[in-house]
């Protein structure tokens, strides 16, 4: 049967089963809620539910996880926008401009843009997933090895210096600080212990979730507390004005670009939505005529990040279902759900369980659409949280952030790291450095270091080998041109001044 | 030196015993003879147990921890809360576990990485002496895999010939960390064949398997349970089993003996431990619970789905100590040969 006919069959199967409908909507709401609360991400919900899926049918179990994945990635955008607390790492770039929009009295527009673009990104990605899962999966793993992924990360980092810093040099220093933090702990290839200062906990490295919570949420509390203490604090203006259709249409290129980027990152095994969000944001900056406006409350930043991370969800299902290769932690847990039902994701699933595959595809499609409905309803109420006075809101945010940092691994050191990052972020922001750049350096640095080391092993430690691989060469040249261009424009502007 | 030789012979006998069994169906389960119930000493445990797992929930350790916790709960009615503390090749989880009270309420899941870490640095805990092994519930061997559609080489002999012709340019996907089980076994292979092959380190399974499926590398070093779906779907095929006899499920794949190698391969094993200072009566109850749970149907089904039934996966506390001690000695021996600093 053709994909459309299969999709209709999957839809009918999904919505003709009362238990299926219940699980579907439970997943939609649960994913959004757990995604929105820092520390208890969609992964927490998935880990809690994993043993219970043994009592569900395979269709229901896999469908539940795929729905949680779609809506959980969106859910984290809300707290990122309203309180500068990304619910998950893939929502961190959303905070770069989403939170400044809230401070500027545009919370409704920011959340509305996140709702719309999460739904669009996820839905388009689900459609592509349905149309061509197997060929895309095979192409991705053939065309993209460690050299190409490193080049992609390098390409992303090249533009990151222009995000949120007062000068280009401070932008680069911010990124370098993030890269330095990324190398703490065992090196990802040889297992060599570095910068652990004889503290076993540091061997696991500095986890990026406590760092994000510190640099964003805690430092923001300090900034606002200082304003409160010095009498210049202004509560964010409450606004539930959603973006107009015209405003969204004006960003159509950003949406399309982010769908392509998000989808592309999602299909690479082990990469997933976090890189997608950062790359989507970075490309928005790269292609903008007004780069300096990013980080100050530009809606395109929210649109690019949220479109890309949701576009990665459907894409991440492609290597999982077609090849049995999970793209991230949640898709890895889905492997566990398959196994509980004596199944293995991979090519045989399409042959042995086509009904399951199409129910899951249909569920993901409608889960992304439901973000629109539930998201708008939720937004109208959740924005009212901004009415809470700062003296009550600040301790609540600190409490949530502390719980979130501890919940990552159950380690006190993660809470310590969060507060150190909070204090450091407070002073770095005052000095014109970019906490966004630091976080970019940290997250992309971990992926970049690993893939660089793997690439060098593959290329027999001859760096020129990157240029024998067309995709890697293209990305590296583009990255170098970007760096050169930004340095040139920094000097050029200086000369003119 | 004599002690090391004795221990190496011990490893050899352990492996030989297992390979003799390989391919045969086990008529009964290892702990069928144990009593089906045991009085709780002083009411222990009065609440749920905790289990520190030094790896993420989705990997091999996370899965075996989940399966064993479920089996123990089915057997005893005692819930087990798993606490995943990944990082540092198990170091973070081990450190966190040692900081928990030695009252028997918290157990540890760990793999052979703990043994290799102690072999390299005796300051790290020795799982056979600083902890009490409750049970080792998974023991498995490694294999070399290629793409099933590969036409440059189709079996072990043609693979070795092809690798040698590449003059060090051939690649194999492997797990990270110098001195790991994977690295040591690969050293045995390269030394025995004289082939030079570049090992590419992937610490996560999906990119590692994707690298072979996508043609980014020429071969893969892995354990069969982890790649079972690729074997069942015909995507990968094994060309060498790192055991001295052929397990029944891989009867057409040459063993080390078939390939003319006499080294003793290192095995992957996963088990459960408790503090050595935990009260003896509680330890005894935990040993019963975990060893008996090994034979619960749910756990046996799990092990079968992971190809963990091809060689005997069970070791009681004494058997576990013997395996760990022999493994540590073997690692130390190889580390010294490699010129690595053994503390």
* B206: CATH: 3.40.190.10
Residue pair B329/B3 in contact (Cβ under 8 Å)? The answer is yes
Boundary (domain end) residue, out of B200, B235, B259: B259
Q: What mean pLDDT do residues B217-242 have? A: 91
Q: Does B100 touch chain A (CB under 8 A)?
A: no
Give how many domains chain A has, as a whole number.
1
- pLDDT tens, position by position, B113-150: 889 889 988 888 899 999 999 999 999 999 999 999 99
- pLDDT tens, position by position, B220-229: 999 998 888 8
The residue with tokens 């027999």 is A460
The residue with tokens 């973006």 is A243
Give how many domains chain B has, as a whole number.
2
Nearest CA in chain B to A137: B214
Which secondary structure element, helix H or strand E, spans residue A340, and what is its range?
helix A329-340
Cβ neighbours, 10 Å, residue A403: 15
Boundary (domain end) residue, out of B259, B291, B324: B259
Report CB contact under 8 Å: A319, B210: yes
Residue pair A174/A433 in contact (Cβ under 8 Å)? The answer is yes
Mean per-residue pLDDT over chain B, rounded: 86
Report CB contact under 8 Å: B95, A201: yes
- State residue A162's pLDDT score: 67
Q: What mean pLDDT do residues A311-337 have? A: 78
Q: Does B268 touch chain A (CB under 8 A)?
A: no
- State residue A164's pLDDT score: 67
- pLDDT tens, position by position, A119-170: 999 999 988 888 877 778 778 788 888 898 888 888 878 877 766 677 888 8
Report CB contact under 8 Å: B210, A458: no
Domain ranges, residue B196? 143-259
| Position B105 confidence tier, pLDDT thresholds 50, 70, 90 | very high
- State residue B246's pLDDT score: 93
Question: Residue B146 pairs with which residues in a beta bridge?
Answer: B237
The shortest C-alpha distance from B129 to chain A (Å) reads 20
DSSP A248: H
Q: Is B200 a member of any domain?
A: yes
Q: What mean pLDDT do residues A425-436 have? A: 88
Sign of CA dihedral A306, A312, A317, A318: positive
The shortest C-alpha distance from A150 to chain B (Å) reads 13
Same domain, B240 and B321: no
Mean per-residue pLDDT over chain A, rounded: 84
ipTM over 0.90: no
Same domain, B158 and B307: no
Cα-Cα end-to-end distance for chain B: 17
Residue pair B147/B279 in contact (Cβ under 8 Å)? The answer is no
Give the pTM: 0.80
Cα–Cα distances (Å) from A142 to A92, A125, A132, A458, B233, in that order, read 30, 20, 16, 14, 18
* SS3 per residue for A380-417: HHHHHHHHCCHHHHHHHHHHHHHHHHHHHHCCHHHHHH
- pLDDT tens, position by position, B50-65: 999 988 776 788 889 9
Strand pairing class (B106-111; B143-147)? unpaired
- State residue B3's pLDDT score: 45
Domain ranges, residue A353? 3-496
Same domain, B55 and B121: yes
Report CB contact under 8 Å: B206, A325: yes
The beta-carbon neighbor of A323 closest among B56, B198, B210 is B210
Strand pairing class (B106-111; B49-53)? parallel
**Alpha-carbon distance B343 to B326, whole Å?**
18
Alpha-helical runs (H) found in A161-291: 168-182, 208-212, 219-229, 245-250, 252-266, 273-287
Q: Is B238 a member of any domain?
A: yes
Same domain, B184 and B133: no
Q: What mean pLDDT do residues B89-110 have? A: 89
Answer yes or no: is pLDDT of B5 > 60: no
- pLDDT tens, position by position, B256-267: 999 999 888 989
Same domain, B7 and B136: yes
Helix (H, G, I), strand (E, B) or coil at B137: strand
* A136: region left, alpha or beta (phi > 0 left; psi from -120 to 50 alpha): alpha
Same domain, B133 and B272: yes
> What tokens does B266 get?
């290192």
The residue with tokens 């989940």 is B66
Residues of chain B found within 8 Å of residue A347, distances taken between Cβ atoms: 233, 235
| Position A240 confidence tier, pLDDT thresholds 50, 70, 90 | low
Q: What mean pLDDT do residues B181-194 have? A: 91
Mutation target vs A (from B68, B71, B81, B87; most A CBs, 10 A cutoff): B87
Residues of chain A found within 8 Å of residue B63, distances taken between Cβ atoms: 336, 339
Report CB contact under 8 Å: B200, A203: no
The shortest C-alpha distance from A304 to chain B (Å) reads 26
Boundary (domain end) residue, out of B259, B284, B313: B259
- State residue A245's pLDDT score: 82
Answer yes or no: is pLDDT of B295 > 80: yes
Same domain, B230 and B323: no
Kindly report the CATH number assigned to the domain that includes residue B102.
Answer: 3.40.190.150
The CA-CA-CA angle for residues B333, B334, B338, to 5°, reads 125
Same domain, B84 and B158: no
Answer yes or no: is pLDDT of B196 > 50: yes
Q: What mean pLDDT do residues B73-82 have? A: 91
Report CB contact under 8 Å: B214, A138: yes
Q: Does B307 touch chain A (CB under 8 A)?
A: no
The shortest C-alpha distance from A308 to chain B (Å) reads 21
- State residue B7's pLDDT score: 45
- State residue A299's pLDDT score: 92
């Amino acid at each position: 049967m053709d994909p459309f006919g299969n999709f209709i069959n999957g839809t009918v199967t999904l919505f003709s089963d009362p238990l299926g409908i219940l699980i579907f909507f439970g997943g939609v709401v649960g994913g959004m809620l757990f995604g929105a609360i820092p520390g208890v991400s969609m992964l927490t919900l998935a880990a809690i539910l994993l043993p219970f899926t043994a009592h569900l049918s395979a269709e229901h179990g896999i469908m539940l996880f795929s729905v949680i994945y779609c809506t959980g990635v969106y859910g984290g955008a809300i707290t990122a926008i309203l309180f500068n607390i990304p619910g998950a790492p893939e929502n961190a770039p959303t905070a770069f401009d989403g939170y400044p929009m809230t401070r500027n009295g545009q919370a409704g527009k920011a959340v509305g843009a996140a709702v719309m673009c999460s739904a669009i990104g996820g839905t388009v990605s689900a459609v592509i997933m349905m149309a061509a899962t197997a060929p895309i999966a095979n192409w991705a793993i053939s065309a993209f090895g460690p050299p190409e992924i490193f080049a992609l990360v390098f390409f992303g980092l090249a533009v990151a210096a222009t995000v949120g810093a007062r000068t280009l040099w401070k932008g680069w220093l911010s990124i370098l600080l993030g890269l330095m933090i990324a190398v703490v702990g065992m090196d990802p290839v040889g297992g060599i212990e570095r910068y652990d200062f004889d503290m076993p906990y540091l061997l696991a490295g500095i986890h990026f979730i406590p760092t994000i919570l510190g640099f964003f949420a805690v430092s923001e509390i300090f900034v606002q507390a200082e304003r409160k203490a010095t009498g210049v604090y202004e509560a964010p203006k409450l606004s539930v004005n959603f973006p107009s259709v015209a405003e969204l249409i004006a960003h159509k290129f950003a949406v399309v670009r982010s769908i392509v980027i998000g989808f592309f990152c999602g299909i690479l095994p082990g990469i997933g939505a976090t890189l997608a969000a950062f790359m989507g944001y970075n490309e928005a900056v790269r292609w903008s005529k007004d780069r300096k406006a990013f980080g100050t409350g530009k809606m395109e930043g929210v649109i690019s990040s949220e479109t890309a991370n949701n576009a990665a969800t459907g894409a991440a299902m492609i290597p999982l279902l077609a090849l049995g290769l999970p793209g991230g932690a949640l898709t890895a847990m889905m492997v566990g759900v398959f196994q509980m039902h004596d199944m293995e994701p991979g090519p045989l699933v399409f042959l042995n369980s086509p009904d399951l595959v199409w129910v899951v595809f249909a569920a993901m499609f409608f889960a992304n659409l439901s973000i629109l409905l539930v998201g708008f309803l939720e937004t109208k109420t959740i924005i009212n949280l901004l009415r809470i006075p700062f003296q009550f809101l600040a301790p609540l945010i600190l409490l949530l952030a502390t719980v979130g940092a501890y919940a990552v691994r159950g380690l006190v050191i993660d809470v310590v790291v969060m507060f150190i990052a909070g204090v450091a972020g407070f002073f770095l922001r005052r000095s014109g450095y970019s906490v966004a750049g630091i976080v970019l350096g940290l997250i992309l640095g971990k992926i970049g270091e690993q893939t660089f080391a793997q690439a060098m092993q593959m290329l027999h430690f001859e760096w020129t080998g990157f240029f024998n691989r067309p995709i890697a060469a293209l990305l590296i040249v583009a990255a170098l041109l970007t760096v050169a261009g930004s340095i040139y424009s920094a000097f050029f502007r200086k000369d003119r001044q | 030196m004599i002690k090391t030789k004795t221990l190496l012979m011990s490893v050899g006998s352990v492996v030989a015993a297992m390979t003799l069994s390989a391919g045969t169906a086990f008529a009964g389960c290892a702990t069928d003879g144990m009593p089906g119930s045991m009085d709780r000493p002083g009411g222990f445990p009065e609440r749920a147990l905790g289990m520190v797992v030094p790896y993420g929930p989705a990997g091999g350790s996370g899965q075996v921890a989940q399966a064993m916790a479920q089996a123990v709960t089915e057997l005893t009615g005692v819930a087990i809360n798993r606490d995943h503390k990944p990082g540092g090749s198990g170091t973070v989880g081990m450190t966190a576990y040692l900081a928990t009270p030695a009252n028997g309420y918290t157990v540890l899941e760990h793999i052979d990485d703990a043994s290799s870490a102690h072999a390299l640095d005796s300051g790290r805990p020795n799982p056979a002496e600083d902890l009490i092994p409750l049970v080792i519930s998974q023991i498995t061997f490694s294999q070399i895999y290629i793409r099933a559609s590969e036409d440059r080489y189709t079996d072990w002999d043609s693979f070795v010939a092809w690798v040698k012709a590449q003059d060090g340019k051939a690649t194999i996907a492997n797990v990270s960390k110098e001195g790991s089980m994977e690295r040591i076994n690969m050293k045995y292979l390269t030394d025995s064949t004289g082939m030079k092959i570049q090992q590419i380190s992937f610490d996560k399974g999906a990119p590692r398997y994707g690298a072979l499926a996508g043609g980014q590398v020429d071969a893969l070093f892995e354990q069969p349970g982890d790649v079972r779906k690729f074997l069942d779907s015909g995507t990968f095929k094994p060309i060498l089993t790192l055991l001295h006899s052929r397990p029944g499920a891989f009867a057409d794949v040459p063993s080390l003996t078939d390939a003319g190698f006499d080294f003793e391969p290192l095995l992957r094993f996963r088990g459960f431990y408790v503090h050595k200072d935990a009260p003896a009566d509680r330890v005894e109850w935990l040993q019963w619970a975990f060893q008996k749970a090994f034979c619960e149907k749910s756990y046996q089904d799990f092990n079968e789905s992971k190809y963990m039934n091809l060689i005997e996966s069970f070791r009681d506390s004494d058997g576990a100590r013997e395996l760990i001690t022999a493994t540590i000695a073997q690692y130390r021996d190889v580390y010294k040969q490699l010129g690595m600093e053994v503390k």
